[in-house]
Amino acid sequence: MYATPRARLAGATAIGVLIAALPATVAHAADRTVRVSVATDGTQATSDSHQPSISGDGRYVAYQSTADDIVTQPVSDGANVYLYDRQLGTTRLVSTPKTGAPAASAASGSAEVSGDGRYVTFTSNAANLVPGDANATTDVFLWEAATGTTVPVSATPAGVPGNGTALSPRVSADGRYVTFWSNAKDLTGYDIPWQLQVFRFDRLSRTNILVAVPRHGTDGGGEHSDISADGQFVAYDSQGTGLVAGDTNGRFDIFRMEIPRPITR
């Protein structure tokens, strides 16, 4: 559409007014940026930090770092998981035995903070974060900020880490539910025939349930997952052909499972 010179001038003037009307703070957005991964004295940390996760209100940031000067507590020689509080300007070590000493015996990472900032889920190869961890592989854990308590997520019904590797945790908004995938065979109390499976952990009942269960044949299992804010829905990828009817493409597909809510009386 052709615009007259006058119309173009009017449009340009309007744009100029809009730009001039923008708050001055927009031009200084960089001033609102703070460095989260800093040493205890506020100076820059001595090593790399990665994989940030932020709470719903932006107050808390969980991340992993190989720096050894972010907290005064002992830390592992590898990566450690931290939780930064924007309001207080403090950082807490997440991946640590509750006593705080000795340090975690191996590296931790893949941190994700719950929407309310009260919980952090993460993976770790450390064998001393919880009692009974003798599987010598990566497990998923859940840390509670209020108590500093860590519980194993990829755990058997007896509450000890399972007999396989667990990865890629995702946490619901209130920290009650965590999804992850694992090749462990002893997390639910009955036989799991698939090599990889998606699980959902319930913090209140301390139990795991299978997510990628075939209902149209025997071929199930799954890998990377994500969980809804309320924990009722889980999305995941799978090459299993028995999860839905008519799946014959032999490819990885994306699925969503609705998990019935617990019955309360």
Q: HEC states along 193-210?
A: CCCCEEEEEECCCCEEEE
Give tens-digit pLDDT for 233-254. 999 999 988 899 999 998 999 9
Categorize the per-residue pLDDT at 17 as very low, low, confident or very high, splitting at 50, 70 and 90: very low
pLDDT at 215: 84
| Whole-number Å distance between alpha carbons of 241 and 11 | 58
The answer to whether 141 and 150 are in contact (CB under 8 A) is yes
Q: Which two tokens stand for residue 190?
A: 């009955």
Please give the domain boundaries of the chain with CATH numbers for all domains.
Answer: 38-258 (2.120.10)
Q: Are strands 80-85 and 149-152 parallel, antiparallel or unpaired?
A: unpaired
Return the SS3 of 5. Answer: helix
Task: Check pLDDT > 60 for residue 265.
Answer: no
Q: What's the whole-number mean pLDDT along residues 123-137?
A: 97
Give tens-digit pLDDT for 60-76. 999 999 999 999 999 99
Task: Check pLDDT > 90 for residue 6.
Answer: no
Average pLDDT, the chain: 89
Task: Check pLDDT > 90 for residue 13.
Answer: no
Task: Check pLDDT > 60 for residue 15.
Answer: no
The dihedral over CA atoms of 110, 116, 118, 121, expressed in degrees to the nearest 10, equals -20
Give tens-digit pLDDT for 174-225. 999 999 999 999 999 877 877 789 999 999 999 999 998 888 877 788 999 9
Q: Which of 4-18, 93-107, 110-124, 232-246 has maximum average pLDDT?
A: 110-124
Q: What is residue 56's DSSP assignment?
A: T
pLDDT at 16: 39
